[in-house]
Amino acid sequence: RKEVEQDPGPFNVPEGATVAFNCTYSNSASQSFFWYRQDCRKEPKLLMSVYSSGNEDGRFTAQLNRASQYISLLIRDSKLSDSATYLCVVNRGNGQNFVFGPGTRLSVLP
């Protein structure tokens, strides 16, 4: 089992739809969590950090459930420009490195 797992995707949704991505992690000592997006042939870019019980940034809401070792990303009112691969990232803490999930690809269709 991989340390960080994500919905396999791809997700194809119409403009304006609400879409949710799920991510689970196996290391209970993990301390910080992030969502990145990666466009085709580009570098990953930070979308949101996820702290404590979660946070919201405009149309994006991230939730963290430490008991279930689960993180989610909700995108409301999808735009064409949201089409990308979304990467769940977990930091193990104690100065250790980050672990990236395999990513979930989203295509928002006109």
Partner 1 sequence: DARVTQTPRHKVTEMGQEVTMRCQPILGHNTVFWYRQTMMQGLELLAYFRNRAPLDDSGMPKDRFSAEMPDATLATLKIQPSEPRDSAVYFCASGRGAGYEQYFGPGTRLTVT
> Which residues are near partner 1 by CB under 8 A?
31-32, 34, 42-46, 49, 87, 91, 93-98, 100, 102-103
Least distance to partner 1 from the beta carbon of 70, Å?
A: 19
Q: Provide the minimum distance between the beta carbon of 103 and partner 1 in the complex, in angstroms, as a whole number.
A: 7
Q: Considering beta carbons, is residue 78 or 86 the nearer one to partner 1?
A: 86
* 2 burial level (CB within 10 Å; 0-12, 13-18, 19+): exposed
- Name the minimum Å distance from CB 89 to partner 1: 8
Q: Which is nearer to partner 1, 14 or 43 (CB)?
A: 43
* Interatomic CA distance for residues 32 and 4, integer angstroms: 13
- Report the distance separating Cα 71 and Cα 24, nearest Å: 6
Please identify, using beta-carbon distances, which residue of 17 and 55 lies nearer to partner 1.
Answer: 55
Residue 17 or 69 having the CB closest to partner 1: 69
Q: Which residues are CB-contacts of 5 (< 8 A; sequence separation ≥ 6)?
A: 23, 24, 25, 101, 102
| Least distance CB 88 / partner 1 (angstroms) | 11
